[in-house]
Chain A
Amino acid sequence: MALESRLLSAEWQRAVREFNGRLNAAGIAAGLRLPVEPHDPVLLPGSQVHLVIEGGAVRGGFILRPQSFFFSGVERRVTHYRLPLSEGLIDRRYAVLGPWMLRRALQIDPLLYALGMGGYDRPLPRMLAAMGWRLSSIPFYFRIVHGGSVLRGLRAVRQNPWRAALFNLAAWTGLGGTGLAAWQRFRTRRPLSEVAAKPVDDFNVWADEIWETSHRAYELTALRDAHTLRQLYPPGAARFLKLRVNSAGWAVMLDTSMRDDPYFGDLRVGTIVDSMAKPENAAAVIHAARRYLEQRGVDLIISNQAHPAWAAALKGDGFFEGPSNFLLGASKAFSEALGPKAELHLNRGDGDGPVNL
């Protein structure tokens, strides 16, 4: 039977629920479901849900979100390819759907990118690599605030009983926390001066000024003017902590009390999600964001940052680099637009935003 592509609308909601129900019944991870409502809160502004229809049944779907990106200051529209899901997950007769959806998305916009994806060994990155997309990981950085809590609670490093016992001992004696704190202090460069930073609830003219003075310094960055920031991090949305750092830049953070998380257990995790400043001001923004999260009482601070200036700012502020499964996939057309060695300013605020944190 022929496959058709349709945008999600009220007409297809029942069929989407049935599709999700089949994934649910087969035990597919809960995060892998298609949105049922065209205005589902998980959809960022401008997102379109494309469904794959076979004779009235939904057999798959994917999300496209056109966005403005700036290539060395020049605006171009690119599209984020997100959450491709197909019946092929549970019924091998539909193995063709993954490649079908990817080719369909490329027909809609060749300037396509994917972000996150969970590691090179997952099906989507493998498919993108086969199609000649450029794949790279966006480095992951962390800084430990409460060493004892992290040693006891960070599941990602307690995967065997011996190591878990060693970390328990280090936490119990206090030696682990003290040692980690000393090590981080040793690695932290003293800032030239403390910068004035204040929490804000909204982005307005000052954010536009930062955008205007900063974005041309990057070979690639997504639009981050005040209007866009209000869409991504709406005023009144308490989840997003916004910090204005003088007139130099800003950061958006999360302070999340994890519950039974496979990586972070029950730790309180601070995330520097998003940020903008001129590259030379990145250190001031990172320092202010780190201090702010520490004062709130988080156990651990994490961030993914692609650009060398932001990476240097994190390392200079005592952050360690860890393994990253946060990947950027750039289609052939996107890669050609970037050039071979472009330095990109991308972070957890890009793509579908900090949905998993």
Chain B
Amino acid sequence: MTESILDEVRTIAADTFGVDARTLSAHSSPEQVEAWDSVQHLNLVLALESKYGVQFEPEEMERMKDLGQIAALLGTKIS
């Protein structure tokens, strides 16, 4: 995973959750981010799909436990 993908995921996640991107890291997860509920998780997935022109299958979505894992998964799909 490149740092740039993680940075972009952090930026999109910050927009989606309405938080400051500086408060998010690769380890940020629904347990730590108050606004990250199931609806916002879907919004994050849809925002990433729209930006990168990819589609996440349910089997891939279950690996999205934190922003680092999301960035890693995204990296494999767009590489």
Asked if chains A and B come from one complex, the reply is yes
Stretch at the interface among A90-98, A188-196, A314-322: A90-98
Report the count of interface residues on A (CB-CB < 8 A). 21
Interface residues of A in 58-103 (CB under 8 A from B): 86, 88, 92-93, 95-100, 102-103
| Nearest CB of chain B from residue A202's CB, rounded to whole Å | 43
Please determine whether A3 and B30 come into contact, CB atoms closer than 8 angstroms: no
Contact A95 B41, CB 8 Å, known A2-B62, A103-B57, A104-B58 = yes
- Taken residue by residue from 37 to 79, chain B's Cβ proximity to chain A (1 for < 8 Å, 0 otherwise) reads as 1111111011000000000111101101100000000000000
B41's partner among A99, A104, A107 (CB-CB below 8 A) is A99
**Residues of A close to B43: CB separation below 8 A:** 130
B39's partner among A2, A86, A123 (CB-CB below 8 A) is A123
Interface residues of A in 93-121 (CB under 8 A from B): 93, 95-100, 102-104, 107
**Residues of A close to B57: CB separation below 8 A:** 103, 107
**Residues of B close to A131: CB separation below 8 A:** 42, 46
Report the count of interface residues on B (CB-CB < 8 A). 21
How far, in angstroms, from A93 to B37 measured CA to CA in the complex?
A: 9
Q: Does A126 contact B (CB under 8 A)?
A: yes
Q: Does B31 contact A (CB under 8 A)?
A: yes
Please determine whether A93 and B65 come into contact, CB atoms closer than 8 angstroms: yes
**Residues of B close to A237: CB separation below 8 A:** none
- Taken residue by residue from 2 to 39, chain B's Cβ proximity to chain A (1 for < 8 Å, 0 otherwise) reads as 00000000000000000000000000011100001111
Using a CB–CB distance below 8 Å, which chain B residues touch chain A? 29-31, 36-43, 45-46, 56-59, 61-62, 64-65
Please determine whether A98 and B42 come into contact, CB atoms closer than 8 angstroms: yes
Question: At the interface, is chain A mostly helix, strand, loop or mixed?
Answer: helix
**Residues of B close to A130: CB separation below 8 A:** 39, 42-43, 46
> What are 5 A-B contacts defined by CB distance under 8 Å?
A88-B37, A92-B36, A93-B29, A98-B38, A127-B38
| Nearest CB of chain A from residue B64's CB, rounded to whole Å | 6
Residue of A95, A98, A103, A123 with most partner-chain B CB within 10 A: A95
How far, in angstroms, from A97 to B62 measured CA to CA in the complex?
A: 8
Please determine whether B61 and A127 come into contact, CB atoms closer than 8 angstroms: no
**Residues of A close to B45: CB separation below 8 A:** 99
**Residues of B close to A86: CB separation below 8 A:** 38
Which chain B residue has the least Cβ–Cβ distance from A89?
Answer: B38
B61's partner among A88, A96, A123, A126 (CB-CB below 8 A) is A96
| Nearest CB of chain A from residue B18's CB, rounded to whole Å | 15
Which chain A residue has the least Cβ–Cβ distance from B45?
Answer: A99
**Residues of B close to A92: CB separation below 8 A:** 30-31, 36-37
How far, in angstroms, from A88 to B38 measured CA to CA in the complex?
A: 7
How far, in angstroms, from A100 to B36 measured CA to CA in the complex?
A: 15
Which chain A residue has the least Cβ–Cβ distance from B57?
Answer: A103
How far, in angstroms, from A99 to B61 measured CA to CA in the complex?
A: 8
**Residues of A close to B64: CB separation below 8 A:** 96
Please determine whether B62 and A100 come into contact, CB atoms closer than 8 angstroms: yes
How far, in angstroms, from A130 to B48 measured CA to CA in the complex?
A: 13
